A and B are shown apart, each in its own frame.
Chain A
Amino acid sequence: MTATHLDHLSVLEAEAAHIIREATAESERPALLFSGGKDSAVLLHLALRAFTPAALPFGLLHVDTGHNFPEVLTFRNGVVAHDDLTLTVASVQQWIDDGRIAERPDGMRNPLQTRPLLDAVAGNRFDALFGGARRDEDRARAKERVFSIRDALGGWDPRRQRPELWQLYNGRRRAGEHLRIFPLSNWTEVDVWSYIVRHDVALPSIYYAHRRQVFLRDGMLLAPGDWGGPVAGESVTEKSVRYRTVGDMSCTGAVESTATTAQEVLDEVSISSISERGATRADDRVSEAAMEDRKREGYF
């Protein structure tokens, strides 16, 4: 590394901070989508650094499926208290209880997040939402802009996207439209873990290897819980596992692992031959275009 040349992780950090500052300056009521997962933890870490020594000029928005891992909620509440942040929660459970949306036959709640999310956007008049999504996660995400415009109903139209030129981001929008901002667009799973190692980012404990009761369904190791698993015929065993993503318990699988530190996880992730979503997310196995269909309706 020469005096004038940055390594690639430093470039990605600088780019993300630039995006976060630009979107914040060009919007009136931004918020950061915070699930407690590693991508949103890294995003929040970068946002806090981008505004140091001033306070973070926006709060967090959590779309709570009601099927969270308890460790993740504990982590979320700890972060909010530690950094003195404001937290808005959009509750999928409340929408189900109200009868505004219906539980799916398969019990998956990730697809149900869209309407409570859009309702929170409208109710709080948020005009820019930061998300930790990365383009390497999915083919539809690979086509989305860093500044992604959403129509009045929250929908994404891949054919109506604005060109992204140089490092000049355009945050202008018409009344009713809002922006989704993805500062980690150019990051990969390995980059996220490299950042966690370099900056010692705190994560929910379930990202590291621990003993857990699990059962096998559709090739994934799921954890028993109030959400409805296991059913008859599915046998529970204890294994040493960690999670690569944290979402709804009903569709987020664990991987067998003995990695107890971020560096050990980075080493494992670096040699994995299966993608993050393919390994652990049932909601993306529905069809080749599952993510595109959800995004068009206003999903993250």
Chain B
Amino acid sequence: MLSAEQPRRPLLRLATAGSVDDGKSTLVGRLLLDTDSVLTDQFESLTRASSRLGTTELDLSLLTDGLRAEREQGITIDVAYRYFSTDRRRFVLADTPGHVQYNRNTVSGMSSAEVAIILVDVAAGLLDQTHRHLAVAALLRVPHVVVAVNKMDMVGYDAEVFTRLRERVVDHTRRLGIDEVTVIPVSALAGDNIGVRSERMPWYDGPSLLEHLEDIPPVPLSSIGAARLSIQYVLRAAHRSYAGRLSSGPLRVGDEVVVLPAGIHTRVAGIERLGETISQARPGESVEVSLVDHVDVSRGDTIAALPAPTPRDSFSAVLCGVSDKRLRPADHVLIKHGARVVRGMVVEIESGLDVGSLAYTPNVESVGGNDIAVVALRLAEPLPIEEYRTDRTTGCFLVLDADDGTTVAAGIVGVPAAAEMVNVEAMSTSGTA
């Protein structure tokens, strides 16, 4: 039973990704079932639906695949969000589909995740889609990566099969620059190592998936830790204050800050948190800030503590295409960074990533729906961007279609080390499949 202390549990954001038929929906269903997150009427509705679709066993994927087309075709179309909790943590899970054409959903789910859970079918091994999911997790710098090796029941819970696959995962993730990966042998269908440790794999002495998720330490979005506040709204009342969500910090009353892109130095006169006066704001809080000096601040400006970034109007970035539209050199676009939208242009496409070989190759003509590429951008006005590797908030942006407003690409400021070696001989591709 929940008590009054329950709201104090920290929140952890998860994203799952897997290939077709590797049992991801079953795994999510199992997580919900093992944390008592499935209520009686939902369980009954699941039993009814399972029998109508001709499955005798309880089809756990029906807990998550909610759209009519998904149930009829037995596939997952779109990102679904699920909520569950234990005594220690509250979880928000973005369940992303594995089909290639829905790859943009993997990017969406992982962009705000603190943990990526990537499913691998132990019999199928590492597929192209697995490589893609791991590459996206590395690119988006998801702080914790978990590879759940599923369907262990299909290989008789064999330690050797698992260990061989585990070595390949560790080798591959190391090449992707993922510092830490946790590999867990599971059977979502049979319930092994999901909620509780399995007795059928005595050779495995690590945690169950849920135990691991409960123990993972939260990682701040910024490694610099200096305050950054993108101003969303100017509040005009007796005094003027600037509203936004602090992405890194803390920010204290009296702190010296710079208003960007203007570059004007001033101090914080007061801070309120949704109307309540406070002396210090913490990262993640939505606040209202007033300044000592009369400075012209409007929506889209950034209030930054020192060291503050230098606004830039041309830079290189990695783009992940997320729509049907293709981006080509000289295309005019809109860039949304924080609360600011500016006009911009794709100057050149420097290289494209081949997710199978992890090599960046030159001579790429356009960036389409599932593509990942390094591009040079020029903006009509400078933005206080920072490297994504040091700040997951000020280092990201959206590329929007200037005409219809659709989101065309997800942008990451900076060039991955591997892309800087485009002209160097492509990396070896052996031993990854």
Contacts and interface: CB of A to CB of B under 8 A. Distances in A.
Interface of A: 1, 3-15, 17-18, 21-22, 24-25, 46, 49-54, 135-136, 138-140, 142-143, 158-159, 161-168, 170, 172-174, 185-186, 188, 190-191, 194, 197-198, 263, 266-267, 270-275, 278-279, 288-289, 292-293
9 contacts: A9-B7, A138-B66, A158-B77, A159-B77, A165-B108, A166-B111, A170-B336, A267-B1, A288-B71
A293 B67 CA distance: 9
Main SS of chain B's interface residues? mixed
Contacts of A52: 235, 272, 274-275, 288
A175 B326 CA distance: 23
Contacts of B282: 3-6
Interface string B64-94: 1111100100000111111100000010100
B406 A162 contact: yes
B392 A166 contact: yes
A14 B92 CA distance: 15
- Which 7 residue pairs spanning A and B have beta carbons closest together? A139-B66, A172-B405, A278-B41, A52-B275, A270-B2, A8-B11, A17-B286
A150 to B, nearest CB: 14
B240 to A, nearest CB: 10
Given A49-B274, A165-B398, 16 more contacts: A14-B285, A17-B245, A21-B286, A139-B65, A139-B67, A142-B64, A142-B80, A142-B82, A143-B67, A143-B77, A163-B104, A170-B407, A172-B406, A197-B4, A270-B6, A288-B49
Contact of A13 (B286, B404, B407): B286
Interface residues of B, number: 76
Interface of B: 1-2, 4, 6-11, 39-42, 45, 49, 64-68, 71, 77-83, 90, 92, 104-105, 107-108, 111-112, 218, 220, 232-233, 235-238, 241, 243-245, 250, 272, 274-275, 282-286, 288, 299, 322, 334, 336-339, 392-393, 396-398, 400, 404-407, 410
Contact of B40 (A139, A142, A273): A273
Nearest to B320: A165
Contacts of A293: 68
A4 B283 contact: yes
A278 B42 contact: yes
Contacts of A25: 232-233, 299, 339
Nearest to A190: B2
B7 to A, nearest CB: 4
Contacts of B404: 172, 174
Nearest to B288: A52
A292 B108 contact: no
Given A25-B233, A136-B83, A289-B68, A174 B9 contact: no
B96 to A, nearest CB: 10
A191 B105 CA distance: 26
B41 A274 contact: yes
A292 B245 contact: no
Most chain B Cβ neighbours within 10 Å, of A6, A167, A188: A167
A218 to B, nearest CB: 13
B237 A54 contact: yes
A205 to B, nearest CB: 23
Contacts of A173: 405
A190 B36 CA distance: 14
A168 B68 contact: no
Contacts of B4: 197, 263
B400 A170 contact: yes
A212 to B, nearest CB: 23
A54 B220 CA distance: 32
A164 B2 contact: no
B322 A10 contact: no
Contacts of A168: 336-338, 396-398
Contact of B81 (A185, A263, A288): A185
Contacts of B71: 288-289
Contacts of B111: 165-166
Contacts of B334: 172
A271 to B, nearest CB: 5
